[in-house]
Amino acid sequence: MFEGADLRRAAIFHAVARAGGIAAAARAIGKSAPAVHADLRRFERDVGVTLMERSGRALRLTPQGRVLFDTIGRALDEIDRVRVYLNRDDGFVTPLRIGAVTGFGRYRLAPALFATMPGARPILFRTGSHDDLLAALLAGEIDLAVTYRAVTAVPVESVELAGEEAVLVGAIGDVGSLEAIERLRFVTYDEYDYVFGHWFDRVFGRQPASLIRHDHCTELEEALISVRAGRGVTIAPLDACLAAELEPAKAGGAPNTLYLCGIGGALASPEAAMIRDLLA
């Protein structure tokens, strides 16, 4: 596990990789080359994999090092962005920090939220899977989360927030039986298992014996692009499908319930009340 000095060492690793060598990085950040070399090697030991290899006189990132370099770069950019924000001339305003499952977040919550919130109040909005959002909530990275599943584990509280309808899209012809649907090629996306399982349970009362998975996309948006290109079918929120100009099949829809989750009285906050009013 990383400890206190790791953020500093991570920044030094990033500086060395960007400069292409220890001496150049040392000049750029105003440290001695031996100190930079020691921090780099300690960081590499802490991570547990080889991050850089020598190529002639220069250092070159390994594939693992490239992934970490990109991740640290995004983190440093975010820290710098927040630093600038905290020092704004017009004063600091506490942002609304909220996360939502991808489909609902992009196609229903975000449009309502950005159109209704006062312009002076900043919004930190993120999307992800149920597990991603719960982890962010527990880590204090967001204050409220909108997800498909009620959470009853301490210290998280949840209440029903809104509903949406999941539908099958991309199918041609008769798909009124589960056997016919089992012959289709499916495009899946992160968190699809809950949406698919709920839809099959509500429409057919049971799960399919098998499912032919074809394309898989991280985001729902890309999955719907695949469906629109004729590469398969998927089950997704109706709002998202209509926004992607996809008509639902006649196999029926299944209502889903969305839950608002928070910690330490967050569900009683004015922000939670505003979100409930937005989606009422």
With a pLDDT cut of 90, the percent of the chain lying above it is 61
Question: Is there a domain that residue 1 lies in?
Answer: no
DSSP state of 87: T
Q: Are residues 176 and 264 in the same domain?
A: yes
Q: Which of 41, 59, 86 is the last residue of a domain?
A: 86
CA 229, CA 174: separation in Å to the nearest integer? 20
Please report, for residues 129, 172, 177, 239, 261, the alpha-carbon distance to residue 186 in angstroms, rounded to integers and kept in the order given.
Answer: 19, 13, 16, 19, 31
- What are 214-260's pLDDT values in tens digits? 999 988 899 999 999 999 999 999 988 998 999 999 888 999 899 99
Containing structural domain, residue 166:
93-280
Q: How far is CA 264 from the centre of its chain?
A: 23
- Amino acid identity of residue 45, one-letter, is R
Tell me what the mean pLDDT of segment 28-50 comes to: 92
CA 228, CA 230: separation in Å to the nearest integer? 5
Nearest Cα to Cα of residue 234 among 186, 166, 190, 200: 186
Q: Are residues 101 and 81 in the same domain?
A: no
Q: Are residues 49 and 159 in the same domain?
A: no
Retrieve residue 78's tokens.
Answer: 């975010």
**90 pLDDT tier (thresholds 50, 70, 90):** low
